[in-house]
Amino acid sequence: MCTFIISWQPNEKWPVVIGANRDELITRAWRKPGRHWSDRPEVVAGYDEEAGGSWLGVNDHGLIVGILNRSNSLGPITGKRSRGELVLEALDHADAVESAAAIKEINENSYRDFNMLILDNRDAFWLKKSSGKRVNCQPLPPGVSMLTAKELNDQSSPRISHHLARLQHAEIPNPEAKNWHGWPDILADKSCYIKEDPLTAMNITSNSGFGTVSASLMALPNDINQRPIWLFCDGPPDQNKFAPIEI
């Protein structure tokens, strides 16, 4: 039940800006983003110690890939491969068009349902795999979007209905100036958008062993001589600070 906020502004100085919370079982072991794979030295991504894959990463070509579980598909299941493998497979490519085309061709029966974002500074895509259907790929619309466990900008998601309109009319973060215009506060918000249901908050704390375990702020530049920016929060974002990841 992760959440992504995406600003997609083609031709701007920073065409891609992302704010993301990762929600997971608290006991599932992971490592913060780094170059964890000897066979993929160009990839910087979070590392899931249980399955060996990732939930969010960037490569040296300036490609960002993130994956989210869709509704009613949390956790592994016998006979299905880990969705975290798909992040690494997508990051094997040099650009978003090529990467999205490769993910569209996966065997839909091999994985549980997912939402995926694949973005570079020229193209941005939302991919979804649901209900045994083949992967569907759609261009991300320009502007600010949100994605959780349902559809893109789905107003039936309390997080999206609470925040999206305000984000779409607010000033876009300026990563170069280190001004994220309130996005960190939104990621840290523990308000329950449905009364007494902590799973509807942006920043989840619950008694079920499930919660928000990390957060990210990311940005891709148009200038090939600039590096992507990744600020990572190693824990719930109301209790921990964002710090830069070396890319």
pLDDT value at residue 79 = 62
Using CA atoms, how far apart are residues 140 and 56, in angstroms rounded to an integer?
18
Residue (of 59, 21, 20) closest to 37 by Cα position: 59
Percent of the chain with pLDDT over 90: 81
pLDDT value at residue 127 = 98
> 187 with 153: CB under 8 angstroms?
no
Using CA atoms, how far apart are residues 188 and 36, in angstroms rounded to an integer?
27
Largest CA distance in the chain: 48
pLDDT value at residue 195 = 72
> 85 with 55: CB under 8 angstroms?
no
Strands of the chain (E only): list them: 3-8, 16-25, 30-34, 43-48, 56-59, 64-69, 114-119, 124-129, 136-139, 143-147, 210-220, 229-233, 242-244
Average pLDDT, the chain: 93
Fold of 3-244: Penicillin V Acylase; Chain A (3.60.60)
Task: Give every CB contact of residue 196 below 8 A, 6+ residues apart in sequence.
Answer: none
Per-residue pLDDT tens digits for 49-74: 999 999 999 999 999 999 999 865 56
pLDDT value at residue 77 = 66
pLDDT value at residue 75 = 60
Domain borders along the chain are 3-244
Per-residue pLDDT tens digits for 173-207: 999 999 999 999 999 999 887 777 888 899 999 88
Higher pLDDT, 200 or 77: 200
Using CA atoms, how far apart are residues 181 and 166, in angstroms rounded to an integer?
12
Using CA atoms, how far apart are residues 182 and 142, in angstroms rounded to an integer?
20
- Is the pLDDT assigned to residue 87 strictly greater than 80? yes
- Is the pLDDT assigned to residue 121 strictly greater than 90? yes
How many degrees, rounded to 5, is the angle at CA 172 between CA 167 and CA 175?
A: 130
Q: Alpha helix (H) ranges present in 13-71? A: none
pLDDT value at residue 71 = 65
Percent of the chain with pLDDT over 70: 96
Higher pLDDT, 109 or 217: 217
* pTM across the whole model: 0.95
φ, ψ dihedrals at 35, nearest 5°? -95, 80
